[in-house]
């Protein structure tokens, strides 16, 4: 019988859902080929924290970033994101919505990050705020609805600049 190689558990709308991936056993004599982090450009080695309370938007963005080679951590609120960061999760960039439920909205999260983790880059997205003047301490800002390709491109540029790499045009 095949053994699980990955398991992910999530709660959606109060229901607990588990995903298990099964993989057939390798045939004898087959080589296992793995990708090394050195095979990826430095910007793609960054961990991106996606903070978005709307589940479908968060999943769509996270999937797009994973398809572009990023490691993604997800949070449904500013409170959850702060707990992850305080718990030792290391990220290179945070993409956060502005309006979210809980005690900490996107602006509060950005202030926390600048105070506690000034090296983390921040991109803020909002459907309610049209200019970033109120949050001039973030590294990028996009109004909703935004094009996923544009957001990914902004992430690439910000991470490339912060790592000293020349952005690829």
Mean pLDDT score, 60-67: 94
Is residue 130 in some structural domain? yes
Is residue 152 in some structural domain? yes
This model's pTM is above 0.75: no
For the cut 60, the answer to whether the pLDDT of residue 93 exceeds it is yes
Is residue 27 in some structural domain? no
pLDDT digits (tens, 9 = 90+) for 111-154: 999 999 999 999 999 887 655 555 677 898 888 888 889 999 99
Nearest to 10 by CA among 65, 54, 74: 74
Is residue 96 in some structural domain? yes
Which DSSP string do the residues of 21-49 spell out, in sequence order? Answer: EEEPPPPTTPPP----GGGS-GGGGSEEE
CATH number reported for the structural domain that contains residue 67 in this entry = 3.40.50.2300
Would you call 8 exposed, middle or buried from its count of C-beta atoms within 10 A (0-12, 13-18, 19+)? exposed
Provide long-range contacts, Cβ within 8 A and 24+ apart, for 142-150.
Answer: 148/60, 148/61, 148/64
pLDDT digits (tens, 9 = 90+) for 101-114: 999 999 999 999 99
Count of structural domains, the chain? 1
* Lookup result for tokens 């991470």: 159
Is residue 95 in some structural domain? yes
Domain that holds residue 53: 41-163
């Amino acid at each position: 019988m095949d053994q699980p190689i990955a398991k992910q558990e999530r709660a959606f709308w109060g229901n607990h859902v588990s995903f298990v991936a099964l993989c057939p056993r390798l045939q004898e004599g087959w080589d296992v080929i793995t990708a090394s982090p050195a095979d990826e450009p430095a910007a793609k080695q960054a961990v991106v924290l996606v903070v978005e309370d709307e589940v479908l938007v968060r999943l769509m963005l996270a999937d797009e970033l994973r398809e572009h080679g990023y490691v993604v951590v997800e949070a449904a609120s500013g409170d959850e994101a702060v707990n992850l960061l305080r718990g030792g999760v290391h990220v290179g960039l945070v993409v956060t919505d502005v309006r979210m439920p809980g005690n900490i909205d996107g602006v509060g999260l950005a202030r926390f990050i600048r105070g506690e983790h000034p090296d983390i880059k921040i991109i803020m997205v909002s459907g309610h705020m049209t200019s970033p003047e109120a949050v001039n301490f973030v590294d990028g800002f996009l109004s909703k609805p935004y094009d996923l390709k544009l957001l990914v491109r902004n992430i690439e540029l910000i991470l490339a600049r912060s790592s000293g790499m020349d952005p690829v045009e």
